[in-house]
Structure 1
Amino acid sequence: MTSSVDGLVTGLDTTSIINQLMTLEAAPQTRLKTKVSEQQTLTSAYQAINAKVLAVGNAVKDLQTATTWTAVKATASSSSVSVATSSTALSGTATFDVSSLATTHVLTSAVPANGTPATGSSLDIVFADKTVNVNVTTNTAQGVADAINGANAGVRASVLTTTNGQVLQFSATGTGAAKSFSINGLANSTSVMTQGADGVITVGNPNAGGFKITSADNTYTGLIPGVTVTANKVDTGITVSTSPDSSKATSAMQALVSAVNSALSTIDAASAYNPTTKTSAPLAGNTLVRSLRDQLLGAVSKGTDGGTSFAANGVSLDRNGQVKFDATAFQNSLAADPTGTKAALSTTLGGRFSTISDDTTNSTTGKLTLVIQNGNTYVRRLTDQISDWDDRLAAKKVALQRQYTNLETALGKLKDQSSWLSGQLSSLSA
């Protein structure tokens, strides 16, 4: 490794001299680093706008989803039932009685005061469609309960201490008639505490064209297509109704308008000029982003394909260059003409925003995508050049250090020779 010898002979600060020379040598590399920083600032601004416009495209997709415009809401006239709708729910009304609720099958068996609760080494749990044999390894009340619980056969057992002694209680793990069971192999017979049964709702008069529907879990799906009714208690004269729900379409429309306004605000911030400080944002005067802003606003200002304004549908432009959404006007328009409102906002306006988003952000052909890719390529090329300069400057510094070290060494030798000659001349004179 080459090092300098600071001013041993000359008194020069060679390290400082070399550093100043290296600063001059590094000027081209410094300019390259400045270009990289400037390009990264531009690319960041483009990427921010790109992300916002991509969000506009995604908001359009949500708006154009079929279920956004066909959503319905359900209401019930009584708290005896709860209702839920699916994406396929249709509008309609159903009136019915909750005649009975589904019940859980429960058996009990007294534990013998003397002797074992099971007559043998196993028990049979008998269902309507199967029999499950359970081995009993510990023939006690708790042993029987543990054996049944460990079998996971759809029955849970517990030991209860009552005023009449211990009792084994057996409960189905679900409701409904199909989960009813009996148990064979116990020393004492079982008693049915609760008979497992399906719930029943009655629609109209069964003797005059009405009908009954049963459910093992108190949930009914056939009354109105796409609507689930869950019975909570017995009641009569319950009415469940479904009607169009505009809240989903309203939220989707509001989300699209918010996404467009966010994109416009990001464009404005990236292309602004401050006359007071006389400073410009990275994309001030940029034709690409200025054109993009005009397109976003133009999609609204053009109005429908029939030449009418979107204002009647709840969408307009304000004086500040932003898109305004009037939810009340939108819902009124949707109630009066659902097909026309959907066509104007989802198909026409949404289609325009979708085209703008794809033209801008498409992963292979998007205008901003290509600009960002080119900027990244430019930065990589500059970074390679900066790296080359690192090697070149390192070699230059070594050369300068060697040069000044050699200078000090050579001057040191000359000084030594001068001292020797001075000594010799002094000797001769003496």
Structure 2
Amino acid sequence: MSDLSLGGLATGMDTQSIINQLVQLEQRPIYNYQQEISELEKTKDAWRDINSRLDKLENKTTDLKLSATYNSKNANSSNEDVVVATASNSSIEANYDITVRSTAKAQRIFGSKLADNYTASVDDTITINGTNIAISSSDTLNDISNKINDSEAGVKASIVDNRLVLEASKTGVDNALKDTTDTGGPTISDNNGILEDLGVLNASGEIVNEPQQASDAEIEINGISGIISSNNEFSDSVEGLTFNIDPEAVVDSNATISVVKDTDKATKAVQAFVDQYNSVMSFIDTKNSYDSGTKESGILQGDGTAMRLQMRLREVVNSKIKDTGDYQTLNSIGIEIDRDGVMSLDSTKLTEALENTPEEVTNLFQAESDVNGYDGMAVKMDSSLDQILQSNTGLIPRRMDFFDARIDTLNEDIENIQRRVDMTRERYVEQFSAMEEAISEMQSQQSWMMSQLSSMGGSSVTGMM
């Protein structure tokens, strides 16, 4: 009977509409729960965004804890066509006069001009720097060049004007190819004379054409001579400095490298922190706002957790960091917060502080109580953010877990109510179906009785006539 629905055939009533209206009353809690879930999802999205912004703020805070942020050095060259340099944090602020005595070059040799249709006359093996390269009697000059390059034997092969050109892959005397005249034996040879055929070696195994000999780079630093490198880079001459000579530098040309403190790196790191701090606070303000004109409020309006979070962050950046010295607060080095809570940086003031007392300014950010007797702002902020963001135990993860648990509970409640609603609907369908059947049966009986009465009345009239 539960599947039977006469749909008002007997009564003329829209029983399906009546049932829907009756059931809708029992479904009202579901609509309320769905609305609450929707609000919870929006709140979760807001907290998820806050979490992402705070995570970025933590990264910016970490940069402020690093000594490398404040100890960075720049190496400036008076003539970059002669020499440039890079300085590590360990380098000393000083000037270095560089004079170039020679630049490092790679050896280059070439062979004889050959016919356009040249092919090797015999099978042979070329040995370069201990690497064997098999040559076939049918190989063209291009084939030979490709085989040398594919072998990675420490030379680069090319063809110019039908001549085989070989150039050492690395600069410096130690990387040059040696022939039979060199001490220690040749590093380029063959078995059956292919290199003589190509005009690279003569019959005695000597290099024929060497337009560019290998050379080491040599420089003087502050009058100290004899400083040599097989390439144009000098990384071991001065602690924390690497000099790079221009390969085209003129012999006896000179330049001065000046190593100075790089305050720009620290300034950029602080500005990045300021920008991200404002991003966090501005977003929370937006979600916690109320528009009296439109009567609309942000999704976190009145959220105590959001307000406490802002208070904690403001307290870290506004509080006094230490009790002595010229710089005791962030404000003293150019980091200010206006009445609207917006942070700004006076980069000129920060730069001056870094140049005057770099260690004191650095400690304002990265000092630790067990070493310095107080915690710097970055250390405090990192600790606070860790308590906010840490998985499972952090403020925001716990908040997200609460939302998830509440949503799960609401969904379970919805399922339970929906089951009851379905059972109620089935009961109404059965009841209305039973009513329709009863009325239909009554109507059928009434129709039969009227038919009988009508039949009886007709017979009496006929008999009287």
Could you tell me the TM-score, scaled by structure 1's length? 0.89
1:38-53 alignment runs, 5 A limit: 38-53=39-54
Q: CA deviation at 1:400?
A: 2.4
**CA–CA distance in structure 1, aligned partners of residues 304 and 43 of structure 2:** 14
Q: CA deviation at 1:356?
A: 2.4
* Residue 347 of structure 2 is aligned to residue 332 of structure 1: no
Contact 1:94 1:223 (C-alpha < 8 Å) held by counterparts: no
Contact 2:227 2:237 (C-alpha < 8 Å) held by counterparts: no
Aligned-CA RMSD value:
2.5
Partner of 2:283: 266
1:232-247 alignment runs, 5 A limit: 232=246, 233-235=248-250, 236-247=253-264
**CA–CA distance in structure 1, aligned partners of residues 92 and 338 of structure 2:** 37
**CA–CA distance in structure 2, aligned partners of residues 56 and 107 of structure 1:** 59
Q: Equivalent residue of 2:170, what SS? A: strand
- Residues 237, 388 of structure 1: alpha-carbon distance in 2 compared, 3 angstrom cutoff: same
Q: Please give the per-residue CA displacement for 1:323-348, whole angstroms capped at 9, x wherever unaligned.
A: 22211111111111101111123332
Q: Equivalent residue of 1:358, what SS? A: helix
Partner of 2:427: 399
Partner of 1:408: 436
Q: CA deviation at 1:76?
A: 0.7
Partner of 2:274: 257
Q: CA deviation at 1:398?
A: 2.9
Contact 1:108 1:191 (C-alpha < 8 Å) held by counterparts: yes
Q: CA deviation at 1:204?
A: 4.9
Report the identity percentage.
25
The equivalent position to 2:235 in structure 1, one of 221, 224, 240, is: 221
Greater mean deviation of Cα atoms: 362-371 or 311-320: 362-371
* Residue 29 of structure 2 is aligned to residue 20 of structure 1: no
Q: CA deviation at 1:69?
A: 1.1
- Residues 126, 11 of structure 1: alpha-carbon distance in 2 compared, 3 angstrom cutoff: closer
AA aligned to 2:211 is M
1:14-413 alignment runs, 5 A limit: 14-79=15-80, 80-86=82-88, 88-111=90-113, 120-127=122-129, 131-137=130-136, 138-161=138-161, 166-181=162-177, 182-184=188-190, 185=193, 186=195, 187=197, 188=199, 189=202, 190-205=208-223, 210-232=224-246, 233-235=248-250, 236-306=253-323, 308-347=328-367, 348-413=376-441
Q: Please give the per-residue CA displacement for 1:25-73, whole angstroms capped at 9, x wherever unaligned.
A: 1012222222222333333333333333333322211111121111111
Partner of 2:455: 427
- Residues 51, 414 of structure 1: alpha-carbon distance in 2 compared, 3 angstrom cutoff: same
Q: Equivalent residue of 2:260, what SS? A: strand
Q: Please give the per-residue CA displacement for 1:90-147, whole angstroms capped at 9, x wherever unaligned.
A: 43332121222221221112156699776752243344xxx33221112543343233
**CA–CA distance in structure 2, aligned partners of residues 119 and 318 of structure 1:** 87
AA aligned to 2:97 is T
Q: CA deviation at 1:269?
A: 1.6
Aligned residues: 419
AA aligned to 1:240 is I
**CA–CA distance in structure 2, aligned partners of residues 25 and 148 of structure 1:** 86
Q: Please give the per-residue CA displacement for 1:167-207, whole angstroms capped at 9, x wherever unaligned.
A: 222222232223211444322333212112222222355xx
Contact 1:296 1:353 (C-alpha < 8 Å) held by counterparts: yes
Q: Equivalent residue of 1:339, what SS? A: helix
Greater mean deviation of Cα atoms: 84-93 or 9-18: 84-93
**CA–CA distance in structure 1, aligned partners of residues 299 and 114 of structure 2:** 90
**CA–CA distance in structure 1, aligned partners of residues 154 and 291 of structure 2:** 75
Partner of 2:183: none
- Residues 4, 82 of structure 1: alpha-carbon distance in 2 compared, 3 angstrom cutoff: farther
- Residues 117, 85 of structure 1: alpha-carbon distance in 2 compared, 3 angstrom cutoff: farther
Contact 1:99 1:234 (C-alpha < 8 Å) held by counterparts: no
Unaligned stretches of 5+ in structure 2?
Answer: 178-187, 203-207, 368-375, 459-465
- Residues 152, 351 of structure 1: alpha-carbon distance in 2 compared, 3 angstrom cutoff: closer
**CA–CA distance in structure 2, aligned partners of residues 143 and 61 of structure 1:** 56
**CA–CA distance in structure 2, aligned partners of residues 109 and 72 of structure 1:** 49
- Residues 227, 395 of structure 1: alpha-carbon distance in 2 compared, 3 angstrom cutoff: farther
Contact 1:203 1:212 (C-alpha < 8 Å) held by counterparts: no
Q: CA deviation at 1:260?
A: 1.9
- Residues 246, 23 of structure 1: alpha-carbon distance in 2 compared, 3 angstrom cutoff: same
Q: Equivalent residue of 2:236, what SS? A: coil
